[in-house]
Amino acid sequence: MTDAPPDRLSNDPRSPFYDEAVLERGIGIRFNGVERTNVEEYCISEGWVRLPVGKSLDRRGNPMTTKVKGVVEAWFRN
């Protein structure tokens, strides 16, 4: 493994950007200067994160998300 986290990562196992090994290692996300713990997916190069919208769920039971643009920083916690 490298010391830099991937450019794009998702928590959803159905996504092509899902990587279980990286998620087990632990990722920290800072979005617009604030550390976030509820990020579902992020992309550093495009500058966006997907955040859940309240406690709403879609018809498959997954959290409803919204894409928010800004400055994204990621690092490994462990």
- Residue 26 has a pLDDT of 93
Every domain of the chain and the residues it spans: 8-76
Cα dihedral 6, 9, 13, 14 in deg (nearest 10): -110
- The Cα-based distances of 19 to 32, 46, 57 in angstroms read 24, 19, 23
- Residue 39 has a pLDDT of 96
Beta strands across the sheet bearing 8-10: 8-10, 41-43, 48-57, 63-69
* 11-27 average pLDDT score: 94
